[in-house]
Amino acid sequence: MKRNKVFVGKLFEDVIRDCREKNNWTYLDVLEHISDKTITEKEVKKWEYGLSYPDIDMIYKLSELYQIPSEELVQAKNNSLEFGSSSINIYIIKRICFILNVSFITGYIVNILVWIFLVIYAFVFFVNSLKKVIENPPL
């Protein structure tokens, strides 16, 4: 995604998560309804966190399951791919959300806290290294 482009549209992960939640289904319920033994609960969860995306055949199955046009799901997948490629931070945030099983906002906050911790750690490391050099100057 170009930096000057404004993102508009639904993300695939949001569409399928909203549909699943609207039906009050678990990941296992989705698996039962699509009847595909090659897909696991973990894979469905990855789709909802935007860490992976289904192939076109599975998009058609999801389209039938959730009663939404397959074109809408394909467009949402394209939106997600475009959005996700905009920054490595987006991928890191999605990974945090998946591992901790939290919302995108919470993952974003955790990501910021990790960066703050790393900056503070680097600063402390630099100051301690500088102290050692001052106390024991090289010959």
User: What's the burial of 72, exposed, middle or buried (CB within 10 Å: 0-12/13-18/19+)?
Assistant: middle
| 97 inside domain | no
Q: Is residue 27 in a domain?
A: yes
Average pLDDT over the chain, rounded to whole? 87
Range(s) of the domain holding residue 23: 12-86
* Highest-scoring range by mean pLDDT, 19-28, 30-39, 101-110: 19-28
Asked if the structure places residue 5 within a domain, the reply is no
Q: Please state, in angstroms and as integers, the Cα–Cα distance from residue 50 to each residue in 9, 26, 45, 78, 86, following that order.
A: 15, 17, 9, 11, 13
- pTM here? 0.67
Q: Which residue has the higher pLDDT, 119 or 36?
A: 119
Confidence label for 3 from pLDDT (cuts 50, 70 and 90): very low
pLDDT tens for 83-119 read 776 677 788 888 888 889 888 888 889 989 999 999 9
- 137 domain residue, yes or no: no
